[in-house]
Amino acid sequence: MALMITDECINCDVCEPECPNDAIYQGPQIYEIDPNKCTECVGHFDEPQCQQVCPVDCIPVNPDFQESREALMDKYKRLMKENSDKKSEKLD
């Protein structure tokens, strides 16, 4: 289950730096979440950090991306491997 940001977003800028997977970015109108990077903070924290800091409570589960906790953990592991591989390439 990836999260999403609704049009109630006020562009307050507090969610983006909280995302450990860099899944949150500024869209054309409001902040958006890349469902391919969102693990709902599984692997990093017990609860989604963006939801914790959002002052208007506009970050629900994205109904188009229903994933089990196991699937989110697999995504987390894949993202960590990709990040590690990118760092290795930069060192070469």
Q: Which pTM does this prediction carry?
A: 0.89
Which residue range forms the structural domain that includes residue 68?
A: 16-91
Looking up residue 73, the CATH number of its domain turns out to be: 3.30.70.20
Contact 25, 16 (CB under 8 A): yes
- pLDDT value, residue 33: 98
How many domains does the chain contain in total?
Answer: 1
Domain-located, residue 9 = no
Question: In the chain, which residues have pLDDT < 50?
Answer: none
Q: Write down the pLDDT at residue 89.
A: 72
Look at residues 3, 1, 39, 45 and name the one whose alpha carbon lies nearest to residue 21: 39
In a domain, 8, yes or no: no
Evaluated on CA atoms 10, 31, 75, 66, the torsion sign reads positive
**What's the pLDDT at 92?**
59
* pLDDT for the residue numbered 39: 97
